[in-house]
Amino acid sequence: MGIETISHIIPKKTSKEIGEGCNCSNNSSCIGERYLLSNSQKILEANSASLSELAENIESEFKAKVMVERKFTVDRQFLAGITVDYRHLKDWKSHKNQLEPSLKKTIYEYKSFSSVSTPGLYVLTYSSHPFLDVYALCCDKGMAFDLIADDILNIKNNEVDEGILYLGDSENDNPAFRKASVSAGIISDKRLTPELDCQYLIEFNNLPNFLERLVRAEFIFSENLLI
């Protein structure tokens, strides 16, 4: 969601050399740089503990009904976000209207009684996905997009002939969709009807073929690649 953005460097070495000279956990790529949102570290320090406590409260109150995924920064210094997920339930679509209001009530009541004096936790809900997200600070993928374009790629206001292609599959991608030269939404599940603010839609099963054609086209996008 842009709180932390990581650029990867793929070493031009043999697998043996990578194993000997690279500290990467998967021996395939290295972290080149990591970026935190401007002025976010103090807020993360203040809100990370509150977010952890909230995760424990949700697990205790809702037990087997939900699963809580904790999202740490890469150095595991801060808990930056949690996803409260109930897709494992057999009929999660019916729980969208039954369970999620109770979840939000628990979250907002916790925020109201929090003693944290810094900006509060940030809640993100979805129109049809069976989960919601809570982050340690206000963030969105448009912020990450700007960071990548401006600071990492040195592209100002996306003013290049080829531009940037952005792929995503949920409403939290919309801020980045709006900034990209070409935006394509991925239809990952027929049961979901996310409100995607993108130019094109790609069925998940067709994604590998699209990416192969994009590579052969040397990453120059055209609508023909979608056919």
Question: Is 176 in contact with 161 (CB distance < 8 Å)?
Answer: no
Domain membership flag for residue 70 = yes
Domain membership flag for residue 151 = no
Query: Using the 8-state DSSP alphabet, how is residue 149 labeled?
Result: I
Residues making up the chain, counted from first to last: 227
pLDDT in tens, 171-209: 999 999 999 999 999 998 888 899 999 999 999 999 999
Question: Is 204 in contact with 188 (CB distance < 8 Å)?
Answer: yes
Question: Please, which pLDDT band fits residue 117 given cuts at 50, 70 and 90?
Answer: low
**190 and 124 together in one domain:** no
Higher pLDDT: 96 or 211? It is 211
pLDDT in tens, 118-161: 578 999 999 999 999 999 999 999 998 988 888 777 766 555 55
Kindly tell me if the per-residue pLDDT of 67 is higher than 50: yes
pLDDT in tens, 6-54: 877 655 544 444 444 455 555 445 667 788 888 888 899 989 999 999 9
**176 and 121 together in one domain:** no
Query: Using the 8-state DSSP alphabet, how is residue 206 labeled?
Result: G
Residue that terminates a domain, selected from 135, 169, 204: 135
Higher pLDDT: 225 or 6? It is 225
Nearby residues of 78 by Cβ (< 8 Å), 6 or more positions away: 44, 45, 48, 72, 136
Domain membership flag for residue 155 = no
Question: Is 103 in contact with 83 (CB distance < 8 Å)?
Answer: no
**81 and 164 together in one domain:** no
Domain count, the chain: 2
The pLDDT assigned to 27 comes to 45
Strands 30-36 and 4-9: antiparallel
The pLDDT assigned to 54 comes to 95
Domain membership flag for residue 173 = yes
Owning domain of residue 112: 40-135
**46 and 87 together in one domain:** yes
Q: What is the percent of the chain where pLDDT is above 70?
A: 82
The CB-side HSE value for 73 (13 A sphere, CA atoms) comes to 19
Pinpoint the alpha helices (H) of 113-166. Answer: 141-146
The pLDDT assigned to 18 comes to 41
**124 and 47 together in one domain:** yes
Domain membership flag for residue 100 = yes
Residue type at position 114: S
Instruction: Round the CA-based radius of gyration of the chain to a whole number and report it.
Output: 20
The pLDDT assigned to 159 comes to 56
Question: Please, which pLDDT band fits residue 91 given cuts at 50, 70 and 90?
Answer: confident
Mean pLDDT of the chain: 85
For residue 132, give Cα distances in angstroms to 39, 84, 227: 25, 5, 33
